Amino acid sequence: MPSSPRQFLLPASAALIDAALVLLFAAIGRDTHQRGESVFGLFDTAWPFLAGAAVGWLLARAWRAPLAAWPTGVVIWVCTVAGGMLLRLTSGHTAALAFIVVALITLAVFLLGYRLLWSLLLRLRRSARRS
């Protein structure tokens, strides 16, 4: 675990970004299906995926390299979708094949996208320094 406040900031920021993106995924889904804007409704939709993301963080030990797309981001993404779907099913909700596909794609773009963008920006910064 991080030992200084500065070492804690990056993993905490990445965890918050992941949570915010999962909430955005749930909000977009609720809006698409015109399910209303209640906070409880949003939480009811999001909690299985937030729990799956938390498991992914633990399995990947994401605090070690929170912005790495591989393997950290992939583990978090897979756990978010798989855990979210399993928890949805066990809590009485549905998980149609189309929803699973949309969740896989959307959460891949969200959870892997910003990590890949971060890696690209770091590479560009390094190459600019060498020039």
CB 62 within 8 A of CB 56: yes
Q: Count up the domains in the chain and report the number.
A: 1
Q: What is the C-alpha separation between 118 and 34, in angstroms, rounded?
A: 33
Query: Given this model, what pLDDT does residue 31 score?
Result: 87
Q: E strand or H helix at 111, and its extent?
A: helix 97-130
CB 33 within 8 A of CB 111: no
How does residue 99 score in pLDDT terms, banded at 50, 70 and 90? very high
Of the two residues 44 and 2, the one the predictor is more confident about is 44
CB 57 within 8 A of CB 76: yes
How does residue 36 score in pLDDT terms, banded at 50, 70 and 90? low
Q: What is the CA radius of gyration of the chain?
A: 16
- Structural domain harbouring 126: 5-130
pLDDT of 107 strictly over 90: yes
Question: Across residues 90-100, what is the average pLDDT?
Answer: 95
